[in-house]
Chain A
Amino acid sequence: MLNVLKNRFEQGCKTSRYPKEKVQLLPRYRGRPEINPDAPSDVASACAAACPQNAIDPVAGTIDMGRCVFCGTCERISNGRFVTFTQDFAIAVAEKEHLFTKGDIPTLAEHSRQHFKKLFGRSLQLRQVSAAGCNACEADLNVLATPFFDLARFGINFVASPRHADGIVVTGPISRNMKTALLQTYEATPEPRVVIAVGSCTLTGGPFRGSPEITEGLDTLLPVDLFIPGCPPHPMTNLHALLNFFK
């Protein structure tokens, strides 16, 4: 017993005071990309050619955050002259077209569905469906339940059954073998229901795009309400998205 108490004091209180206080992520973290519209076109083209995800449109000067895996290759190649990744983790969007960005992302809270806020603002129960995810997105959703983030204090929980849920959170590029199970889980969730797509794979197929075994974009199967980009999205991105979209 003494031992348990001693450990308790050693560990202290680790829960973040977010959103009351700002959270500063580590310097190498790559969040919201910003595009320099004045960059020379050859630099832009070089970035587009080097991008492993073909996420860059050098002519329009946009980057598709749905495809982007935030590897930072473009930032290095252009030496920051074309793309820079900021420390800003608030990158979730409510409309798919908002994923194509020049650097400015519409404020999520303003684009959320008002009736969702009313319905789920105080209590939101989510069923997570991993559909061929690599376990990184899953892990960084799971981590929201740990003391630092402590998702439950906001009235948001991951539950075991779709029957108990207000919506589903989908991760992974939706393999052919997982499609039926995903759709059945969706059907099993009572309406009104929310669909949240987490991670580059779910948004566009991510690194696996082009494989005949996957689906390139959850929105081709289900109406998606919230898009959270990243490979995987940082837990703060997930937390920010949930709080701003529903609270």
Chain B
Amino acid sequence: MLEIVFLIPFLTGAGAFFLPNKIGRCLLVLTGAIHLILSVMIWAGRLTPIFPEYFAVTPEGLLSLLVISLLFFLISIYTIAYLKASDIHAENIFTGSMLLFLSTMTMVTLSDHIMVMWIAIEATTLASAPLIYTHRTAASLEATWKYVLICSVGIAMALLGSVLVTVAMDVGKVDAPISFTAMTDVAKKMDPMWLKAGFVFILVGYGTKMGLAPMHTWLPDAHSEAPSPASALLSGVLLNCAYLGIFKTNKIMHAAGLADFSGPILIVFGLISIMAAATFILKQTEYKRMLAYSSIENMGIIAFGTGIGGLGAYGAMICLIHHSLIKSSLFLTSGNILLGFGSRLIEHTGNLVNRMPKTFVAFFGGFAGISGFPPFGIFIGELLIIIGAFRTGNYVGAGFFILSLCVIFAGFANNVMKISFDTSDTTIRIKEEASLVWPQYALLLTSLVLCFWMPDTLHQTIIHAVNFDDFSTQAVEIVSRGGKVVQLFAFQANGTFRLMAVLRTDVLLVAACDAPETYPALTAKCEPFHMFEREIAEQYGIRPEGHPWLKMVRYHANCRSVDDVFGNDYTEDIPGRYDYYSVAGDEIHEVAVGPVHAGVIEPGHFRFNCIGERVLNLEIQLGYQHRGAEDLLLKADRKRIAFIAENIAGDTSVGHSLCHAQAMEALSGIQTDDGSKIIRTIGLELERIANHVGDLGALSGDVAFLPPANYCGRMRGDFLNMSLLMCGNRFGKGLVRPGGVRFPMNDDNRRDLTARIRELKPHVKHTIDLLFSTSSVRSRFEGCGTVSRSDAEKLGLVGPAGRACSIPYDVRRCFPTEHYGQLDIPENAEPTGDVWARAKVRADEVMQSIAFIESLLPDPVETEIIDMADMALAPDSFVVTLNEAWRGELSHCILTDGAGGILRYKVKDPSFHNWNGLSMSLRNTGISDFPLNNKSYNLSYCGFDL
């Protein structure tokens, strides 16, 4: 019974025409209240449409509906007081039209059908025209005619545009309902030329109604001539309704991949509107007209933000809500001023601060809000739009935007100052009754509250409006241009499933969107998403259609209990039942290794397709180590989670505990002291040295050069013992905790560490020199397991594996944390991409890390020792941390819910990128070179399997 929401005001409105004024007024407030209740019920998902082909609840529609409903309710209360204080002819027509107006606007927000939407928007014009003519003056008659004529011409254009959109469907031979939802789904198949034409007509048509310049000419007249409650509705919500039509069409354009066409048009219209408003506001003599031009400005801002897309679109949504709240409050306040001073001219007013102090508070608050003062929402919205514009390289647009905002502010401020503080001798005609001011206060307060506390579902409603297509198009674009995927994962919030991406260029970029049930795989266009999409498919049962390599990652059921994407039943014993890549031919043979390996190492399965000794393809299939770490991090007691995070990979304990600690510190606002930063840096570098030294020994052993193999084995132990010296654990477990470190570095420790390093350093140096200067080692390392730079980029290799393919990225240099900002981290890139390069990078890093530690030891380290800090996490927040662990970029993400609980904990070990590098290394290499290549990477099984 969704339709009841606009049927009720329709019936009461029609009734009000024939009822006495008193009953009409009661009906107005009563309908407002019922409407508000019904809208909230829709928000809660209690009402479903009877005619789903015409009406639907969309996030953007719901948002507008909630705003309309709240506004109307508050305005209806104000209207009672306003009607008492002013004398209006034919009050029954006024109240009846107000209710009909509400009904038609509600219909706009709920209509999903392109024609029903058009009818509803046209109906708003008819319902609101009598409101403008309420005062029965010549000026109001002119304004009414202007409104009806210009908007009708505009709306005719929109009709043509709507028809053209349906033509685009016919030409593209698409058979689908002409609802916005259905059209967005099939947008790709629609004929782009007709669609473009349709968009232009709809933009001009609905843009007229929305007040975009140069079609705005009706707006200042209509808004200033209408009685203030009606002006508030016209400005606060009618414009949103028109915008909704543009927004939904723009969504189709995005889905059709035509964002490049629609974006610039919106930006141009937006900028023209803002600049036109700026010109007229500067020398405005009537305050209601000034407010009307400010509406044109804000509609321009919203169109500009929508055109920018991404962050800008989000900013536009925020501006839309807050403009409605603040602007309607301002129009109501202007009603008070008009009632008090009896004139619309600014020069007839003055000294509002003393004459009408309560009105002054509302007026000045509204002015601060609408001009984009923090902490009002418009500030946040405009800021986001400006950031979005700079980020998309739209510097010229951003420049005009900022300039116009300044001019508007100057003009606005000038007039507000005159009204508020100039001297005036006019006698005030009314008393400032409570009901004449508190609706405005309520509106401003709502705007303020929404800035500091956004109800989770409302927040979702807003982010929701940034759709999946935007998300995927932008993600692919950023990564195709050389950006990298740091994290891409799904999560559940308030019953809906969403995707979150963290990408990096030279900055980190984060975006979220609603997760579709299936979607065209990003990997098909852009390889670096490969593992992430498989992981999402396995964890959440969301299928990436057309993924070229859609296979299991870790063998477990998805968390939604929907059908497994891979068709597995996990009550059975699954590992090993895996659809391996196969090669056919008489001389082809397969070699299967694992999960239990010959050495003392973790389990995993390796399948080689060989021709003779030559490997054609190696497929690595892991998952045996899966312990459910991410889930356990959500469920376990808070006191346990640092321990769980630290044990995700024991050889990277410091790396993982550091990422965890930084994330928890960011969410709880705890600062760590400089001493603990130094100790953490030393801990992470010791971990790096120990592992690199051990692996250099293992590499040496694999080419049968035993002296360095033995020396490195011993020296690795010596470095592990330095961790033991620092914290009592050879792997640094228990050293790092949220808030700092658990062990001090006293002078004895420093002396002991310095002495040990001084003794060990020449041994390490000489052993490395011996290894790299031995010709038999060189001949085995060089040219073995080569990965090209372009392959490495596509696979997203990180850490030493990436640096060996001349990708110099190092988190310590690019996103420094802890003490790394003060260390000079070299690039360490090697060009050859072979075992030699990987060994060389690691050997260089060993010597550099020893030097870093030596440089940190001479000065005393003072730190506050922490244990289990009791931390309250910020609600509804997201944090991502990055550190350069010894294998490369390690990242933890935490999302919190409304109560500060952990909603999602996502871990990405560098091995998640690098295992495919090992596969690539083995292409066309002798199978006997596998151990050598494997050790040159030495990847983590448990870090991958989680």
**A contact set with B: CB distance below 8 Å:** 3-4, 6-8, 10-11, 14, 25-26, 28-30, 50, 52-53, 69-73, 76-77, 128-143, 145-148, 158, 160-162, 172-173, 175-181, 185, 201, 206-208, 210-214, 231-232, 234-235
Contacts and interface: CB of A to CB of B under 8 A. Distances in A.
A172 B444 CA distance: 59
Contacts of B726: 28
A175 B731 CA distance: 22
Contacts of B624: 132, 175, 177-178, 181
Contacts of B717: 143, 146, 148, 235
Interface residues of B, number: 73
Contacts of B635: 210
Given A50-B639, A133-B942, A177-B554, 17 more contacts: A6-B766, A7-B770, A29-B724, A52-B637, A69-B643, A69-B734, A71-B643, A131-B603, A134-B649, A143-B713, A146-B710, A177-B625, A208-B628, A211-B628, A211-B629, A211-B631, A232-B731
Contacts of B766: 6-7, 10
5 A-B pairs with the lowest CB-CB distances in the bound complex, closest first: A136-B650, A134-B650, A146-B713, A160-B598, A213-B628
B637 to A, nearest CB: 8
A136 B942 CA distance: 11
A172 B603 CA distance: 11
A178 B762 contact: no
Contact of A14 (B595, B651, B694, B714): B714
B626 A129 contact: no
Contacts of A140: 730
B340 to A, nearest CB: 66
B743 interface: yes
Interface in B593-648: 595-596, 598-603, 623-629, 631-632, 635-637, 639-640, 642-644, 646-648
A136 B655 CA distance: 14
A135 B729 CA distance: 14
Contacts of B694: 139
A29 B600 CA distance: 25
B653 interface: yes
7 contacts: A3-B769, A69-B643, A132-B603, A134-B648, A135-B651, A177-B625, A231-B729
B647 A28 contact: no
B626 to A, nearest CB: 6
Given A147-B710, A181-B596, A138 B643 contact: no
A8 B707 contact: yes
A28 B770 CA distance: 35
A10 B707 contact: no
Contacts of B637: 52
B743 A28 contact: yes
Given A52-B639, A175-B627, A207-B643, A137 B713 contact: no
B854 to A, nearest CB: 20
A231 to B, nearest CB: 6
B603 A130 contact: yes
A178 B529 CA distance: 28
Contacts of A212: 628
A69 B649 contact: no
Nearest to A160: B598
A7 B711 contact: yes
B481 to A, nearest CB: 36
Nearest to A149: B717
A232 B770 contact: no
Interface in B641-694: 642-644, 646-651, 653, 694
Which of B600, B726, B729 has the largest number of chain A CB atoms within 10 A? B600
Contacts of B601: 130, 135, 138
A181 B603 contact: yes
Contacts of A73: 867-868
B600 A128 contact: yes
Interface string B709-737: 01101101100110011111111011000
Given A136-B651, A137-B650, A69 B725 contact: no
B940 interface: yes
Contacts of A4: 707, 770
Contact of B627 (A137, A146, A173, A181): A173
Contacts of A130: 600-603
A137 B773 CA distance: 34
A158 B941 CA distance: 21
A30 B728 contact: yes
Which of A7, A50, A136, A178 has the largest number of chain B CB atoms within 10 A? A136
Contacts of A211: 627-629, 631-632
B713 A145 contact: yes
Contacts of A6: 766
A208 B713 contact: no
A133 B710 contact: no
Contacts of B646: 207
B175 interface: no
Nearest to B623: A177
A197 B762 CA distance: 39
Nearest to A49: B639
B926 interface: no
A139 B651 contact: yes
Given A133-B602, A135-B602, A207-B643, A181 B595 contact: yes
A195 B637 CA distance: 32
A159 B199 CA distance: 72
Contacts of A158: 599-600
A32 B642 CA distance: 23
Which of B598, B629, B728 has the largest number of chain A CB atoms within 10 A? B728
